[in-house]
Amino acid sequence: MNHSVSLKHLHTFGIAVTAKEYVAFSDEKMLQSLTPVSAPYLVLGGGSNLLFTKDYKGLILHNKIQGIDCVEEDEKSVLLRIGGGVVWHELVLWVLEKGYGGIENLSLIPGSVGAAPVQNIGAYGVEIKDVFDRLEAVHLQTGKIETFSKKACDFGYRDSVFKRQLKGQYCICRVWLRLSKKARINTSYGVINDVLAQADLPLTIQSVSKAVIQIRQRKLPDPATLGNSGSFFKNPIISLSKFSTLKLQFPDMPFYPVGDKSVKLAAGWIIDKLGWKGYRKGDAGVHRHQALVLVNYGNAKGMEIWNLAKAIQASVFDVFGVVLETEVNIL
Ligand code: EPU
C-alpha cells in the first residue's frame, strides 16, 4: 500500500489532488486479501468519469486485471471474458482486428472495461448493454465473487444498479461480452453515414470505427492533451407536456422521443444556446467544440470546475426550467 499518492495522472481531468492511500491489484485474489475494505474507498479504473474537488481522504483500489479470452465460439458469435483493468479502446481495437462486431460504435471511449457497465457506456446508437452477457464482481466487505446477469445489472441510460442500490459495494473484475461474427452495422446515428460517404468508405465494422473515431476527435478533446471527463452532464429526460411548451419557445431545439411520454433533450445544445461554449475562467472551461464537455486547461482546481458546472446548471434551470444532472462522479 502506498501513502499520499498523486492522482493527477490517474484520472482524465488531470486535477492535482492526492489520495491518502493507494493500492493496485492485478487479480481477484489480491483484491480479496484487502477485504473487508474500510470506508472511505474508491475503485478506480481509467479514471475517466471523475471530478476530484479535494484530496481523497481514503483508499484508492486501482483495478489492473488484464486479459481478453474467448470462452465460447459458434458460427455466429463469440463470448469474450475480459479483465476489468483492460483499457476499453484497446479491447475495441483487439475485436476489430479479429473481425468481431458489436462495439465498433463505442470506439475511443476513454476508461476501462470494468467501469464500462457501471454507467452503461454508450455512443452513436449503441450501449454496452447491447452486447453484455454477464460480469463478475468482488463484494468489498465479504470478499465473495458474485455473478451479475444483464437483468441483475438493470441497465438504463448512463445507469446501472452499480450507480444506485449497490453503489460502492462491489468491484467489477471481469466482464463477458457476446460479439457477432456477422456484422450488424448500426448507422442509426446519421453522421456516421455522412462520414463514410464523404470518405468513400465501405460499410464494415472497421470503417464504422474509423468514422466514429473521426467524429469523436472532431468534437471531443483528447484527455492526453486537455483534461476532461467526456460529457459532464446527462442529457435531461423531460415530460412530453413540458417539452411542448419549450418547443414553442425554442423551435430548433434537438430532441429524441423516449417511449411515448418523455423526451430526451440535448444538454450540449442547451448549454451552447446559453452562450457557454468556449467560456473560460482561469483554467476551467467549456470545450469550444462541444458544450457538454468541461475542460481543465492545465492547473484548474476541482472546485473551479465544479463551480463552473453549478453556474451552468443554474443558468439552464433559469431559462429552460430543466435540471441538469451530472454524468461525472463528483468527489
Ligand atoms: N449540440 C450543439 N452544441 C454543442 C453540443 C451539441 O448544438 O455544443 C447539438 C448537436 O448539434 C446535436 C445535439 O446537440 O444536435 C447532440 O449532440 P451530440 O450528437 O454531440 O451528442 P450529445 O447528446 O451531446 C451524447 C453522449 C456522448 C456520445 C454522443 C454520441 C450523453 C450525456 N452524451 O452526447 O457521450 O458520444 O451522444 O452518441 O449522453 C460521454 O458520455 O462522455 C459522451 C461523450
Q: Are 27 and 65 in contact (CB under 8 A)?
A: yes
pLDDT of residue 199: 87
Most informative mutation of 231, 256, 288 for ligand 1 (most atoms within 8 A of CB): 231
List the chain domain ranges: 2-63, 68-180, 227-330
Per the annotation, the verdict on 81 as an active-site residue is: no
pTM for this predicted structure: 0.95
Burial class (CB in 10 A: 0-12, 13-18, 19+), 253: middle
Pocket of ligand 1 contains residue 268 by CB under 6 Å:
yes
Q: Are 212 and 108 in contact (CB under 8 A)?
A: yes
Cis geometry, peptide bond prior to residue 117 (ω within 30 degrees of 0): no
- The three cell numbers of residue 263 are 423526451
Summarised one tens digit per residue, pLDDT across range 163-197 is: 999 999 999 999 999 999 987 899 888 889 899 98
**68-180 belongs to which CATH class?**
alpha beta
| Average pLDDT of every residue of the chain | 96
pLDDT of residue 108: 97
Give yes or no for residue 48 having a pLDDT over 90.
Answer: yes
pLDDT of residue 183: 79
Burial class (CB in 10 A: 0-12, 13-18, 19+), 283: middle
**Percent of the chain surpassing pLDDT 90:** 94
Most informative mutation of 194, 258, 292 for ligand 1 (most atoms within 8 A of CB): 292
Three-state secondary-structure class, residue 151: helix
Per the annotation, the verdict on 209 as an active-site residue is: no
Domain formed by 227-330, architecture: Alpha-Beta Complex (3.90)
**2-63 belongs to which CATH class?**
alpha beta
